[in-house]
Amino acid sequence: MQTDLLISLPFIFFLSIVVGLILYLVGGIFGAKGEKTEGKVAPYACGENLPARKLQVDVERFLIYAVYFLVFDILAFILATSLNTPGHFPAIYALIVLMAVVILLPFLRRG
């Protein structure tokens, strides 16, 4: 019973976090402690004068790939979990995916 608890996924996850935390704290104890100057805590900028601000991510160019990603990720998941189901269920879903791919194809050309 206790052994089951020890070798369980949440407990191992907890332990791996603890291992990371121990290393982190050891680094905190032995790490060098310098004074925090203004230049040190500024973002790295290759010597240029670049203020720190959040950049907007331009997803437009890759949006179509993200849509494809969603479609195919579900296809892969369905194929993965269709080990013991009859062959026509995954085949039907694959056909639906094929239709989605054909519909999305013009957008891929444009992008």
Partner 1 sequence: MVPEGVVALLEILLFPGFLFLIALAFFYEWVDRKLLAKLQNRYGPLYTGPSGLLQPFADFIKLLSKEDITPKAADKFMFSCAPLFLLSFPLLALFLVPVAGLKALISFEGDLIFLMFLFTLIAVTVFIAGWSSVSRFSTVGGVRAAFQMLGYEIPMTLVMVGPAIAARTLSISQIVGWQTHNAAWFIWFQPIGFAIFVLCLLAELEFIPFDIPEAATEIVAGWSTEYSGRKLALIRLGKDVELVLAASLITSLFLGGPNSSLPILAIGFFLLKTTLAVVLLTTLRALFARFRIDQMIAGAWKYVIPLAILQMVLIQLGFGR
CA distance 53 to 25: 30
Indicate the SS3 state at residue 27. Answer: helix
Window 9 to 48, contacts with partner 1 (CB under 8 A) = 9, 12-13, 15-17, 19-21, 23-24, 26-28, 30-34, 36, 40-46
Query: Can you tell me which of 47, 49, 86, 87 binds partner 1, judged by CB under 8 A?
Result: 87
Question: Tokens standing for 93?
Answer: 């879903």
Q: Rounded to a whole number, what is the largest CA-CA distance in the chain? A: 67
Asked if 102 touches partner 1 (CB under 8 A), the answer is no
CA distance 109 to 111: 6
Question: Letter for the amino acid at 68?
Answer: Y
Residues in touch with partner 1 (CB under 8 A): 2-3, 6-9, 12-13, 15-17, 19-21, 23-24, 26-28, 30-34, 36, 40-46, 50, 52-55, 57, 61-62, 65-66, 68-69, 72-73, 76-77, 79-81, 83-84, 87
